[in-house]
Amino acid sequence: MKKITFILAFCLLATFMVNAQETQAPGYKPHSYYVIAWNNTFTIGDFNKWVGNASPAGFYFGGQYFIPGMNLSAGFNISWQRLSQEYPKQTYMANNGIAVTATNYRFTWMVPFNASIEYNIIPDKVVSPYIGLNIGGDYMEHHLLIQEYDIIKDVWDFSLSPEIGANFKFGYFSNWGAQLAFNYKWTTNQIEVYGTKSKDLQMLNLRVGLVYYLR
């Protein structure tokens, strides 16, 4: 599923890029733009051992400001994500020495915040592909629920996210549009909860959102 999603996203973006380069219709280069989006996360590596389910429970907000005379833009973004999975019954020893055998639930809350830079290939056109890099950090809470026991580990981290995407205006001079983006994210975050040890958590993110442009 992950490989299929990646291939489809890559093919779509490649097609949009070719079509956009051929578009000769007039348009305008925005002063800045803002995005509100839905985010879907796929865990990979050690993170996938903790929570293997893809998660559509994500929200994203960001803004980009164009550098005068260049196709570069700089900005920020902040988001929220929840990942969760239920695992079969296992036996755990509580702090009071009592053994508990029960189904366990694992979930992670994520609040990423980043500075970002993008190269927008043709920002004045209806379809504008871009490549970018997000640099920042995350606050994560990792939970292991066993009946009434909630074992929590909260961690701050540093993260890097190279990204490809495209913005689509709803008309040559429209102030509204859509965004499709895909990124790979690497973090220094670690999970150490009841014998579970994971480090350098990684994930893939697929984002679809609404864009508002300022001229």
pLDDT tens sequence across 5-59: 544 455 455 444 444 444 445 678 899 999 999 999 999 988 888 888 888 889 9
- Asked whether the beta carbons of 213 and 175 are under 8 A apart, the reply is yes
Q: Decide if 103 is inside a domain.
A: no
Torsion of CA 112, 117, 121, 124, to 10 degrees: 90
Could you tell me the pLDDT band of residue 80, with boundaries at 50, 70 and 90?
Answer: very high
Residue 44 domain-assigned (yes or no)? yes
Domain membership flag for residue 146: no
Predicted confidence (pLDDT) at residue 210 exceeds the cutoff of 70: yes
Q: Can you tell me which residue has the tokens 């790979």?
A: 184
Annotate 50-61 with DSSP letters as a single string.
H--S-B--EEEE
CA–CA dist 60, 167 (Å, integer)? 15
pLDDT band at 126 (very low <50, low <70, confident <90, very high): very high
Residue (of 58, 62, 185, 160) closest to 110 by Cα position: 58
In a domain, 90, yes or no: no
User: What is the model's pLDDT at position 85?
Assistant: 82
% of the chain surpassing 70 pLDDT: 79
Number of domains in the chain: 1
Q: Is 76 a member of any domain?
A: yes
Q: Which of these ranges, 106-115, 174-183, 197-206, has the smallest mean pLDDT?
A: 197-206
Instruction: Enter the pTM of the model.
Output: 0.79
Tokens of 13: 């973006």
Residue 144, domain member (yes or no): no
Q: Any residues with CB less than 8 A from the CB of 29 and at least 6 apart, and which?
A: 66, 123, 124
Has residue 102 been placed in a domain? no
Which DSSP category does 67 fall into?
Answer: P
How deeply is 178 buried, as exposed, middle or buried, from its count of CB atoms within 10 A (0-12, 13-18, 19+)?
middle
pLDDT tens digits along 140-182: 998 887 777 777 888 899 999 999 999 999 998 999 999 999 9
* Contact yes or no for 127/168 (Cβ under 8 A): yes
Residue 105 within a domain: no
- How many CA atoms lie within 13 Å of 116's alpha carbon, on the beta-carbon side? 28
Find out whether 39 and 207 touch, Cβ atoms under 8 Å. yes
Residue with tokens 């701050």: 156
Domain of 119, in residue numbers: 2-21+32-80+112-138+159-214
Q: What is the CATH number of the domain that holds 178?
A: 2.40.160
